[in-house]
């Protein structure tokens, strides 16, 4: 079935980037409703507490906008900026409460923490553009409410970042001007020219910038020519081999100048030098990068054997086994309980995660998603993205039922508030239980075989940032394990392949099409896990498996020394960054400082690299020239820090604009403070926090064309109970069967059953009500006869759904945290 959407709007070249901004800030209003094919009673399930991390309601956001216009009159704020000199409110959203204020409400029956909001304001200070953070509250707004600078969460000592790019419309027009000024060159070398009237012209050219903040405070831009793609979204697969450098150090774009040009490994100092070189007899032309069916993500024509039949699907005939409070976004499932929330920059996050009534984590969520490239051309050679800058929450677009998630999943809507409007993102989170293709456990004994089904709960969202779709899974297992998994798919950001033996293209990737090369890059996604293992007072240890040579008295005299191994515990006594150990030779454990299980062992959780493509990585590049101090969290796999209200995050979206002097400098957080608690001269109370990285070292190959596949780009980290329970708690919840094997010996029977005539007998078969022999016994329920499911349980009718057009970030600064102004926006 075909997914129907409104046709794309034709844009004029002058407003191309501006309208992309407009679309992102004023996205689609439509959506779809998920059919409920299951005839079940509406669950009357209510969360035990209010979701104190929930985002603002539309009414709250509207009140905050009105309040800011009155409280910040000196800024002369405007709702619809018409000039890059206008001051305006870019975003408002909930300011999450400090943990110190929340724990009393959550665990000690104290009052709910006062609710506050934060706002990002684009304003001019001394005639220069800045992005400035404020906090507004308490809510609901009253005479005691106020607007104050939001400073305490930033270790830079300031709440603002200078915006180095004042006018994105002008930048897009500047790029088009570059292309137009060398139209004779582009026609000669690429067979195409820029089309200002229609930048989406598949035969035309567009011009993209890559910005770099340099350490001395300047701003440098390299522009590269691209083809827009034949409607497939494959723009990042269509780079062309012409690059132009722009001196953008002047605060006024009118003072920008075009300097060098780069083509086929040669730098030309001026446009005239480049043009003159074309007529030289030894000038070498490279083939252009031409679009075609090779970039299509769909193949509607091929029909290998088997494609005429649909694949197997998962169904849920009796309805969900989890319980969901939609209003509070609270979930309960087989001992797990938690709250769901989102943020504009970082998307999906979970709070107050408990298992069997005991505390496990206070907070679990994304902090930043970074991609750092390497290459031998001016674009790839310095390319990096910090995706929170573009909004991982703002780009959580609707999920496709029956494809992104099973047809039976529950779908939740989210919203964000930007540019004086509330934007609804329908069906952007799904919750469902799933049975994978492997058992949770099994065992074959001499007289019986036991098989336990494996089911887990998934909370899923997808963030589409430019060319990549990131699927985020929070997975809950019946034994108390949590897994955080990320998969990436979409178009790679590829490089132009020049076929030049003097270049080093194969040093950074592979040739993957006629004039296209892959570009190696690291994906490093940083997450926060505020563990409260059986309470807030925890210790971190490295439990090492170490070889040892020792002597045992029972070995003598035959063996004098025995080479073996043993466990050695190393306490982590100060803040540190750790990498996954060689040969998996250490267990990273977070223990409760005072709670033990029935056997006297400390209750704990193990942190381990989970399922996916090998161990999760950290950044390959040492002391990145591009990143500066904006992403030092990427330099190790996991970090253990003191938890502080003044350090709620490892990064901020506006770090992208100040990499050498970021709002949040992670090195100031991970500064080797003591993790010893209970000492008279230390304020540290044992409440630690873990930051960990997911991602991949991605060297794209021909199989990444047209799209990277999710099973080759997955990584995860798991938090596994380690003596947290007295035994495996999944035994209480799991569904399974034990089959008694035929034999002559009277052993291996079921607990509580006696032998009859020498045989183990007696089981009333619940499905047919007939007396049978002793051979089968189920734990949990089984499916009954006579089940009927409608077609939508297998293949949702997507013809019923209508989705309006929405924008996806184009990986320049459009629609990002920069707070751009919209030309002619209403």
Domains 50-162 and 323-418+431-481+489-500+525-729 share a fold: no
- Confidence at 764, pLDDT banded by 50, 70, 90: very low
Nearest to 499 by CA among 511, 491, 507, 485: 511
Q: Can you name the residues that pair with 131 across neighbouring β-strands?
A: 122, 161
CATH of 50-162, one of 3.10.20.30, 3.10.450.40, 3.90.1150.10, 3.40.50.720: 3.10.450.40
Query: What contacts 221, CB < 8 A, 6 or more positions away?
Result: 171, 209, 210, 211, 212, 245, 246, 248
Please confirm, yes or no, whether 468 is among the known catalytic residues.
yes
Please confirm, yes or no, whether 387 is among the known catalytic residues.
yes
pLDDT given for residue 678 in this prediction: 87
Q: What is the DSSP string of 263-290?
A: ETTEEESSHHHHHHHHTSTT--------
> Is the pLDDT score of 23 beyond 70?
no
Looking at residue 632, the DSSP 8-state letter turns out to be G
pLDDT given for residue 773 in this prediction: 45
How crowded is residue 244: how many other Cβ atoms within 10 Å of its Cβ?
26
How much of the chain, in percent, has pLDDT values that exceed 70? 86
- Output the six-digit token pair for 98: 């400090």
Query: What contacts 670, CB < 8 A, 6 or more positions away?
Result: 575, 576, 577, 632, 633, 639, 641
Q: Of 268-272, 419-423, 767-771, which range is least confident?
A: 767-771
How much of the chain, in percent, has pLDDT values that exceed 90? 72
Distance CA 524, CA 482 (A): 20
pLDDT given for residue 753 in this prediction: 54
pLDDT given for residue 213 in this prediction: 63
Please return the burial class of 144, using the count of CB atoms within 10 Å of its CB with bins 0-12, 13-18 and 19+: exposed
Please return the burial class of 753, using the count of CB atoms within 10 Å of its CB with bins 0-12, 13-18 and 19+: middle
Please return the burial class of 544, using the count of CB atoms within 10 Å of its CB with bins 0-12, 13-18 and 19+: middle
Looking at residue 802, the DSSP 8-state letter turns out to be B
pLDDT given for residue 11 in this prediction: 30
How crowded is residue 584: how many other Cβ atoms within 10 Å of its Cβ?
11
Place of tokens 């998920």: 34
Q: What is the mean pLDDT of the chain?
A: 87
Mean pLDDT, residues 662-680 taken together: 95
pLDDT digits (tens, 9 = 90+) for 518-559: 999 999 999 999 999 999 999 999 999 999 999 999 999 999
- Confidence at 772, pLDDT banded by 50, 70, 90: very low
Mean pLDDT, residues 427-437 taken together: 96
Query: What contacts 306, CB < 8 A, 6 or more positions away?
Result: none
Q: What is the DSSP string of 333-368?
A: ETTEEEEEEEETTTEEEEEEEEETTEEEEEEEEEEE
> Is the pLDDT score of 345 beyond 70?
yes
Q: Output the CA angle 448-449-451, nearest 5 degrees.
A: 150
pLDDT digits (tens, 9 = 90+) for 483-528: 999 999 999 999 999 987 777 888 999 999 999 999 999 999 999 9
- Output the six-digit token pair for 370: 């970074």
Burial 475-506 (b: 16+ CB within 10 A, else e): bbbbbbbbbbbbbbbbbbbbbbbbeeeebebe
Distance CA 194, CA 197 (A): 9
Nearest to 257 by CA among 268, 271, 240, 267: 271
Place of tokens 């002619």: 824
Q: Output the CA angle 98-100-103, nearest 5 degrees.
A: 105
Asked if 385 contacts 370 with a C-beta cutoff of 8 angstroms, the reply is: yes
pLDDT given for residue 218 in this prediction: 62
Distance CA 439, CA 411 (A): 27
Q: Output the CA angle 369-370-372, nearest 5 degrees.
A: 160
Q: How much is the pTM? A: 0.91
> Is the pLDDT score of 740 beyond 70?
yes
- Confidence at 4, pLDDT banded by 50, 70, 90: very low
> Is the pLDDT score of 658 beyond 80?
yes
Please return the burial class of 526, using the count of CB atoms within 10 Å of its CB with bins 0-12, 13-18 and 19+: buried
How crowded is residue 215: how many other Cβ atoms within 10 Å of its Cβ?
10
Per-residue CA distances from 622 to 179, 627, 635 (Å): 35, 10, 8
pLDDT given for residue 64 in this prediction: 97
Q: Output the CA angle 594-598-601, nearest 5 degrees.
A: 50
Per-residue CA distances from 228 to 330, 627, 759 (Å): 43, 29, 76
Mean pLDDT, residues 50-70 taken together: 97
Chain centre to alpha carbon of residue 12: 33
Per-residue CA distances from 438 to 441, 452, 453 (Å): 9, 10, 8
- Confidence at 813, pLDDT banded by 50, 70, 90: low
Mean pLDDT, residues 102-122 taken together: 95
Active-site annotation holder among 160, 408, 456, 468: 468
Cis peptide before 543 (omega within 30 of 0): no
Q: Can you name the residues that pair with 459 across neighbouring β-strands?
A: 431, 474
Q: Of 203-217, 646-660, 702-716, which range is least confident?
A: 203-217
pLDDT given for residue 749 in this prediction: 56
Distance CA 352, CA 532 (A): 9
CATH of 323-418+431-481+489-500+525-729, one of 2.70.98.20, 2.60.120.10, 1.10.3720.10, 3.90.180.10: 2.70.98.20
pLDDT given for residue 1 in this prediction: 28
Per-residue CA distances from 248 to 123, 175, 654 (Å): 21, 12, 19
Per-residue CA distances from 675 to 78, 80, 609, 649, 669 (Å): 48, 49, 23, 19, 13
Q: Can you name the residues that pair with 270 across neighbouring β-strands?
A: none
Mean pLDDT, residues 802-825 taken together: 56
Distance CA 435, CA 456 (A): 7
Residues in the chain: 826
Mean pLDDT, residues 689-698 taken together: 97
Asked if 230 contacts 202 with a C-beta cutoff of 8 angstroms, the reply is: yes
Query: What contacts 311, CB < 8 A, 6 or more positions away?
Result: none
pLDDT given for residue 744 in this prediction: 61
Domain layout of the chain by residue ranges = 50-162, 323-418+431-481+489-500+525-729, 736-779
Q: From its phi and psi, is residue 455 left (phi > 0), alpha (psi between -120 and 50) or beta?
A: beta
Asked if 505 contacts 549 with a C-beta cutoff of 8 angstroms, the reply is: no
Asked if 179 contacts 225 with a C-beta cutoff of 8 angstroms, the reply is: yes
Active-site annotation holder among 201, 376, 377, 387: 387
Distance CA 455, CA 733 (A): 10
> Is the pLDDT score of 225 beyond 80?
yes
pLDDT given for residue 634 in this prediction: 98
- Confidence at 564, pLDDT banded by 50, 70, 90: very high
How crowded is residue 447: how many other Cβ atoms within 10 Å of its Cβ?
16
Place of tokens 């969202």: 461
Q: Of 191-205, 436-450, 709-723, which range is least confident?
A: 191-205
């Amino acid at each position: 079935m075909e997914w129907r959407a409104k046709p794309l709007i034709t844009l004029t070249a002058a407003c191309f980037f501006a309208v992309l901004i407009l679309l992102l800030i004023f996205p689609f209003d439509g959506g779809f409703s998920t059919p409920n094919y299951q005839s079940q009673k509406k669950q009357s399930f209510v969360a035990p507490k209010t979701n104190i991390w929930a985002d603002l309601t539309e009414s709250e956001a509207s009140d905050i906008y009105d309040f800011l216009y009155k409280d910040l009159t000196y800024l002369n704020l405007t709702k619809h900026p018409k000039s890059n000199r206008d001051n305006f409110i870019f975003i408002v959203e909930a300011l999450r409460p400090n943990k110190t204020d929340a724990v009393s409400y959550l665990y000690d029956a104290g009052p709910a923490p006062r609710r506050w909001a934060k706002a990002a304001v684009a304003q001019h200070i001394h005639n220069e553009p800045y992005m400035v953070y404020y906090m507004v509250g308490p809510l609901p707004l009253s005479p005691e409410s106020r607007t104050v600078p939001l400073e305490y969460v930033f270790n830079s000592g300031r709440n603002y970042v200078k915006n180095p790019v004042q006018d994105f419309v002008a930048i897009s027009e500047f790029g088009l001007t570059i292309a137009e000024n060398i139209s004779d060159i582009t026609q000669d070398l690429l067979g195409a020219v820029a089309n200002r009237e229609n930048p989406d012209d598949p035969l035309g050219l567009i011009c993209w910038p890559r910005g770099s903040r340099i350490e001395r405070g300047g701003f440098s831009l390299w522009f590269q020519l691209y083809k827009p793609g034949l409607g497939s979204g494959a723009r990042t697969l269509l780079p062309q081999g012409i690059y132009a450098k722009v001196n953008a150090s002047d605060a006024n774009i009118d003072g920008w100048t075009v300097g060098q040009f780069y083509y086929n490994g040669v730098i030309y100092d001026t446009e005239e030098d480049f043009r003159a070189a074309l007529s030289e007899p030894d000038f070498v032309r490279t083939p252009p990068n031409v679009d075609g069916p090779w970039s299509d993500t769909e193949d509607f024509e091929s029909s290998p054997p088997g494609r005429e039949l649909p694949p197997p699907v998962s169904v849920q005939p009796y309805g969900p086994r989890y319980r969901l409070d939609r209003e509070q976004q609270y979930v309960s499932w087989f001992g797990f309980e938690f709250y769901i929330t989102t943020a504009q920059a970082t998307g999906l996050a979970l709070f107050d995660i408990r298992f069997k009534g005991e505390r496990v984590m206070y907070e679990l969520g994304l902090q930043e998603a970074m991609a750092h490239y390497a290459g031998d051309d001016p674009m790839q050679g310095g390319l990096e993205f910090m995706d929170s800058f573009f909004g991982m929450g703002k780009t959580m677009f609707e999920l496709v039922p029956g494809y992104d998630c099973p047809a039976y999943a529950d779908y939740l809507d989210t919203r964000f508030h930007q540019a004086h409007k509330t934007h609804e993102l329908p069906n952007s989170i799904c919750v469902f239980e799933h049975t994978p293709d492997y058992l949770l456990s099994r065992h074959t004994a001499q007289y019986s075989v036991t098989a336990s089904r494996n089911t887990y709960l998934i909370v899923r969202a997808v963030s589409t940032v430019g060319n990549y779709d990131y699927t985020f899974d929070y997975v809950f297992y019946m034994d108390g394990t949590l897994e955080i998994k990320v998969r990436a798919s979409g178009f790679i950001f590829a490089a132009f392949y020049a076929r030049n033996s003097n270049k080093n293209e194969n040093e950074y990737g592979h040739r993957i099409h006629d004039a296209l090369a892959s570009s190696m890059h690291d994906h490093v996604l940083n997450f926060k896990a505020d563990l409260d293992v059986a309470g807030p007072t925890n210790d971190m240890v490295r439990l090492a498996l170490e070889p040892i040579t020792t002597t045992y008295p029972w070995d003598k005299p035959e063996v004098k020394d025995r080479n073996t191994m043993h466990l050695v515990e190393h306490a982590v006594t100060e803040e540190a960054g750790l990498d996954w150990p060689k040969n998996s030779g250490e267990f990273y454990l977070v223990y409760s400082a005072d709670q033990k299980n029935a056997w006297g062992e400390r209750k704990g959780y193990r942190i381990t690299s989970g399922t996916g493509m090998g161990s999760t990585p950290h950044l390959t590049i040492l002391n990145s020239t591009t990143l500066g101090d904006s992403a030092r969290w990427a330099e190790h796999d996991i970090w253990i820090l003191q938890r502080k209200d003044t350090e709620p995050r490892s990064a901020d979206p506006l770090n992208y604009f100040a990499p050498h002097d970021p709002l949040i400098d992670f090195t100031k957080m991970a500064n080797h403070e003591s993790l010893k608690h209970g000492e008279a001269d230390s304020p540290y109370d044992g409440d630690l926090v873990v930051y960990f990285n997911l991602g991949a070292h991605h060297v794209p190959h021909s199989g990444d064309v047209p799209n990277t596949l999710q099973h080759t780009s997955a990584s995860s980290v798991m938090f596994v109970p380690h003596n947290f329970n007295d035994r495996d708690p999944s035994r209480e919840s799991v569904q399974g069967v034990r089959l008694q094997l035929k034999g002559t010996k009277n052993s291996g029977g079921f607990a509580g059953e006696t032998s009859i005539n020498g045989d183990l007998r007696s089981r009333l078969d619940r499905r047919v009500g007939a007396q049978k022999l002793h051979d089968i016994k189920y734990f949990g329920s089984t499916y009954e006869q006579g089940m009927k499911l409608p077609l939508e349980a297998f293949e949702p009718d997507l013809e019923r759904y209508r989705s309006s057009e929405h924008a996806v970030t184009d990986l320049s600064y459009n629609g990002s945290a920069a707070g751009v102004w919209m030309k002619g926006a209403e």
